[in-house]
Structure 1
Amino acid sequence: MFVSLTACFDGNGSGSSLNTGDDNPDVIASLAVTSYAPTDGATAVGTNSKVVAVFNKAMKPETLTQNSFTLQGAGETAIVGAVGYNADTRTTTLAPNGALTPNTVYTATITTVAEDESGANLLNNVEWSFTTAATTDTAAPTVNTSSPADLATDVLRNTKVNVTFSEAIDPATLSGTSFKLSKNSDSSVVSGNLRYVNPTTVVFSPASVLDDSAAYTLTLTTTLTDLAGNSLVLSSIGFTTGSEVSSSPATVDLGTAGNYVILAKTGISTTGTTKITGDIAVSPEARTAITGFSETLAPDGTFATSSLVTGKLFAADMTSPTPTQLTTAVSNMETAYSDAAGRLDPDFTELGAGEIGGLTLDPGLYKWGTGVLVTSDVTLNGSASDVWIFQIGQDLKLEDGKAVVLTGGALPENVFWQVAGEVTLQAGTTFNGIMLGQTAIVVKSGAVINGRALAQTAVTLISNDVNEPAQ
């Protein structure tokens, strides 16, 4: 379950090592900035704030300088300040020499000069903007949420501890002494790995399962500061383990909805040269809701064919028994959505504050009340029998050219994306898994789906490859 944390750095003397995830040898992902702070569009940023960005790969420090990482206010010259790289957290930080101008829009830019250890550069400049406040930031950061929650009981023994802060934390202040898990009975420090997922989210992964029915305390010290240097108030989170160790969740039963690679209630449309392997269907709408396929109705009227589909096309106004079969399939699709959405006791909640690009995710149940964004490749690593269920309260979006990558034998038919909002696969993306969408599924030019698109509204395609997995 949880986020796989490897390629450790050890040397903080506390039994914990910082880690930002290892490049998976099965995947060649482009160098990317996965998150940054202040965030794009942020307002009321203290005039004493630093700027930080997180990479998905280990970087060459010499390529991160005042020339490749700049900050400029509207109508001003570029800010002069120290630019540094933290290998433990794969972050670069720009610390201005003086205060920023109040009430001013600033633009941060990291150029394609930035280079990872393999010699690969950013494909494009990364740019974002924020607006300063009238004064400095003097507010102390706080803990927003944690998993396990404070005072939680019967916690899984292979839990990983996820803390989300109220604002960005300075990565230079994160260590095994400022973020420490201890066993209450003997005050022993739990060894493991720390992960700076993004500027507001930190994950601790114990090196081994925790003891049965034991009390633990996570201590967050005042050494942790925000980007303005304000110290976190000394905080602690206590929980007690149970006796269980988690395993993969049970698979989601698709019923007869699993007979279709695309199933939608209000329409399926395509433009360009789309290639679909598997059956597609729309119901309760009629065949006119399937557009762009130039389909031909079979002589018995029960299905249609298209040169774009290696399979059959079905609609609710076709000859019996098709309408009844589709009514059942749509009902099964809605039941599968409810099943996935209703799974309890997620292994991880609000991971990465919704940004999961660059992560490697082990099998398990993941839950977000917000949307989920993939700005660099995300990897699902597990065996052919492992299952992933993602509960997403808002939208799911893969940015241009990014991928959901399966390694270790993981199969797309065992990955379920339950999405309350819209699913958007930008141009050139590669998606693995079963989409259970409550609203629209929009697939941009050249995107590839290995799995199923099951939508309670419409599916829109543009020159895509859609490949049906095993049932």
Structure 2
Amino acid sequence: MKIKNLLLTFAVICIALVTGCENDDFEEVVGVCPVIESTTPLSNALNVPLGQVITATFNEEMDPSSITSTSFIVTGTSPIAGTITYSGKTASFTPQTLLAENTTYTAKITTKAKDVNGNFLQLEYVWVFSTGAILRPVVTAVDPINNAIAVPLNQTISATFNMAMNPATLNSTTFKVMQGVTTVTGTISYTGSTVSFVPASPLLTNKLYTVTITTGAKNTLDTAMTTDYTWSFTTDSIPTVTSTDPMNNAIDVALNQTVTADFSAIMDAATITGTTFTLKQGTTTVPGTVSYSGSTASFKPTTSLVLGKVYTATITNGAKSASGTPLANDYVWNFTTMLVAPAPIIVNLGTAAMFGAFGGNAGITNQGLNTVINNGSLGTTAASTLVTGFHDGLIVYTETPLNKGNVTGDIFTAPPAPGTATSLAIAQKGLLDANAAYLSISPAAKPGGSDPNAGELGGLTLAPGVYKSASGTFKISNGNLTLDAQGDPNATWIFQTASGLTVGIAGPTGAKSVIMINGGLPKNVFWYVGSAATINSAGGGTMVGTIIAKSGVTFSTAGNASQTVLNGRAISLVASVTMVNTTVNVP
């Protein structure tokens, strides 16, 4: 038995000496064979970070001199370089450069690694892992946008990323603004996910700028953009005044002139005000209303200009384009008003002057008990049956208990009775004269009319003259219209609209009026209306002047009790005239 045990022990010692394998009974002789207990990354790991430090941890202390590039090897498509260190029981491999995306790597600890007792690793230890695609920073928005035009000269240039960035990587090297080959200097800041560039001085006008953010810009994990990001924009041109009305040094300018200036660019309407657009006569500031439409600024004097005076108009550099660029300098021009007042305008109504209302060939209708034609007659070339709700001193024309209108003059119609051939002839002559008067106040016969407020006459005070709607319609809805005769009893106003005329707005307080001051007379006010006129459909209000409309005139609306007044005449050349509780005072 003793001989057998001795032989067995000798065999075990021989095996241990040859293999170095662990044997608790003989540890003091041969030591412990090293093994790898864990790795980073784990074997078959996916989506490993590109900056991963690769480690292997042993079960015992190793001889650091054996942990080298020949015992710790990492291979991708080829062996990669790195720094190898050893601490505790862990060997570490730090790649010299970031690992490649979407790549499989093999790490290996060879049998050249040994423990402090000289025992070598018995078998090579091999594990694999794979990197993934990383989320790289991307520019998601820029200001100004690419290919933007008319960019303000004080523009802050910015770019927004899809993730948080490392502010230290956003600097004048990675964020570059160029105008041609010239580098633009400025201050760079970063907030949230947006980097901003504020130029040190205003950008140049009408120039192309190019902005580049390079791949040196990195996120908080030091991951760079894939490629440089570049975009361009063009700065705004300095706006200029291209024309004025009146022109500089103009003479014989009308006393009711609206002063205008056209710009080379669309302007910021908020900067076109009574402060930036002024008119002076000497040192005296002329009061007026400033407006802006399209690319035109307008100054409408509150009262008429004075004969034979030099006026100075100024638009300051406080006026800015829509993108915020101001005029380079104040723009100043002068003009002189006419020396002699224009000859009075004379409109000959002929026999049409006798009519308070004329219904063309379609008749006249009254609804209500309080309609009256003072100092005038009614007329139509239509049959007498188309005059309803009226009576004159002798004859009743289809009145009802609720519709009675009094005509202090006469009523002239075609037959049947009470219409006669004689009354028809008078009506026909009246219509001919009305047509002639209509043509005499048309834009063709009286050209040069101005539009003081884009078709809206409400709230204005107008001097005598010719006014023509640029849009084809006139309305009085923003307030009353005041006509200032300036002490001239012959002061005449002609209003021309190719389409409609509307006075007043809806609602119980919607009535609007025409007010005459300083000697103005209703007989000298004329309205040329290309289609129909509607006067205070809500009832009430006072209208002034002779209305000659192509296609009808309507006063108030059925059911309104408020009295509507016309100091003038309502003449329709084709369609009917309709009145509801209307007083017509024929001048």
Which TM class, normalised by the smaller chain length?
0.5 to 0.7
Q: CA contact under 8 A between 2:307 and 2:338: conserved in structure 1? A: no
Shift of 1:263: 0.8
- What letter is aligned with 2:352? A
Residue 254 (structure 1) shift: 0.7
- Residue 421 of structure 1 aligns with which residue? 531
Distance 1:391 1:235 in 2: 36
Note if contact 1:190-1:206 (Cα within 8 Å) is conserved in structure 2: no
Shift of 1:226: 6.2
* Matched AA of 2:475: L
Distance 2:243 2:414 in 1: 46
Partner residue, 1:344 = 446
**Aligned counterpart, 2:125:** none
**SS of the counterpart of 1:261?**
strand
Name the CA distance, whole Å, in 2 between partners of 1:320 and 1:461: 24
Q: Which amino acid aligns with 2:581?
A: N
Shift of 1:368: 2.0
Who is 1:202 aligned against? 299
Alignment of 1:326-345 (within 5 A): 326-341=427-442, 342-344=444-446
2:355 is aligned with 1:253: no
Choose from 257, 263, 277 the match for 2:358: 263
**What is the CA deviation profile of residues 307-337 of structure 1, one whole-angstrom value per residue up to 9, with x for unaligned ones?**
5123322212222321211111101001111
The alpha carbon displacement at 1:425 in A equals: 1.1
Q: For structure 1, list consecutive stretches of 5 or more residues without a partner in the other structure.
A: 1-137, 183-187
Q: Does 1:193 align with 2:286?
A: yes
How far does residue 197 in structure 1 lie from its aligned partner after superposition?
4.8
Equivalent residue for 1:359, pick from 451, 460, 465: 460
Counterpart residue number, 1:321: 422
Q: Quote how far apart the aligned CAs of 1:412 are.
A: 1.2
Question: Cα distance 1:387–1:168, how it changes in 2: closer, same or farther (>3 A)?
Answer: farther
| 1:245 shift after superposition | 3.1
By how many angstroms is 1:232 displaced? 6.3
Structure 1 residues 285 and 239, CA, compared in 2 at 3 Å: closer, same or farther?
A: farther
1:372 to 1:294, Cα distance in 2 relative to 1, 3 A = closer
Q: Write out aligned runs for 1:33-432 (5 A).
A: 147-148=245-246, 150=247, 155-156=252-253, 158=255, 160-163=257-260, 170=269, 173-175=272-274, 178-179=276-277, 191-200=284-293, 201-204=298-301, 208-210=306-308, 218-225=313-320, 229=324, 231=326, 241=336, 244-247=339-342, 249-265=344-360, 266-278=362-374, 279-291=376-388, 293=389, 295=391, 307-311=404-408, 312-317=410-415, 318-341=419-442, 342-344=444-446, 346=448, 349-370=450-471, 371-375=473-477, 376-382=479-485, 383=487, 384-399=489-504, 400-426=510-536, 427=538, 428-432=540-544
Normalised TM-score (structure 2): 0.47
Whether contact under 8 Å (1:196, 1:203) holds in the other structure is: yes
CA distance in 1, matches of 2:386, 2:257: 46
Contact 2:371 2:405 in 1 (8 A): yes
* Separation (CA, whole Å) in 1 of partners of 2:377 and 2:287: 45
Q: Which has the larger radius of gyration?
A: 2
CA distance in structure 2 between the partners assigned to 1:237 and 1:438 by the alignment: 44
Is the contact made by 1:146 and 1:161 (CA closer than 8 Å) also made in structure 2?
no
* Paired position in structure 2 for 1:433: 545
Q: Tell me how far apart the structure 2 counterparts of residues 298 and 290 of structure 1 sit (CA, whole Å).
A: 15
Aligned match of 1:464 = 581
Whether the 8 Å contact between 2:466 and 2:494 is mirrored in structure 1 is yes
Change (3 A) 1:288 1:222: farther
In structure 1, give the amino acid aligned to 2:289: Y
SS at match of 1:272: strand
Which amino acid is 1:420 matched to?
G
Change (3 A) 1:385 1:191: same
Contact 2:272–2:290 (8 Å) recurs in 1 = no
Shift of 1:194: 4.5
The share of aligned pairs that are identical, in percent, is 23
| AA matched with 1:253 | N
SS in structure 2 of the partner of residue 330 of structure 1: helix
Indicate how the Cα distance of structure 1 residues 196 and 256 shifts in structure 2: closer, same or farther if over 3 A, else same. same
CA distance in 2, matches of 1:164, 1:422: 33
Tell me if structure 2 keeps the 8 A contact 1:296–1:305.
no
Report if aligned partners of 2:554, 2:577 keep a CA contact under 8 Å in 1.
yes
1:357, distance to aligned residue in structure 2 (A): 1.0
CA distance in 2, matches of 1:157, 1:467: 33
Partner of 1:84: none
- Secondary structure at the residue paired with 1:410? coil
| 1:225–1:421 distance in 2 versus 1, CA, 3 Å | farther
Query: Is 2:566 aligned against 1:449?
Result: yes
**Inter-partner Cα distance in structure 2 for 1:443 and 1:304:** 19
Q: What's the CA shift for 1:438?
A: 1.8
Letter of the 1:196 partner, please give it: T
Q: 1:3 maps to which residue?
A: none
The Cα of 1:435 is off from its aligned counterpart by: 0.6
CA displacement at 1:157 relative to structure 2: 6.3
CA-based RMSD = 3.9
DSSP-derived class of the 1:354 partner: coil
AA aligned opposite 1:403: S
> Structure 1's 443 and 243: CA in aligned 2 closer, same or farther, altered over 3 A?
closer
Letter in 2 for 1:398: V
Q: 1:49-89 CA deviation, whole Å, 9 max, x = no partner?
A: xxxxxxxxxxxxxxxxxxxxxxxxxxxxxxxxxxxxxxxxx
User: How far apart are 1:366 and its partner, in Å?
Assistant: 1.8
Distance 1:443 1:232 in 2: 49
User: Are the counterparts in 2 of residues 157 and 210 from structure 1 also a CA contact under 8 Å?
Assistant: no
Counterpart of 1:322, as a letter, is: S
Distance in 2 separating the partners of 1:403 and 1:140 = 44
Aligned length: 319
Partner SS for 1:202: strand
Q: Distance in 2 between matches of 1:295 and 1:431?
A: 24
Shift of 1:344: 3.5
Segment of structure 1 superposing worse, 430-439 or 315-324 = 315-324
Structure 2 unmatched runs, 5+: 1-235, 505-509
SS in 2 for 1:458: coil
How far 1:354 moved relative to its partner?
1.1
Work out whether residues 276 and 465 of structure 1, in 8 Å CA contact, stay in contact via their aligned partners in 2: yes
The residue aligned with 2:231 is none
Match of 2:166 in 1: none
SS at match of 1:466: strand
* C-alpha separation in 1, matches of 2:456 and 2:328: 26
SS in 2 for 1:358: coil
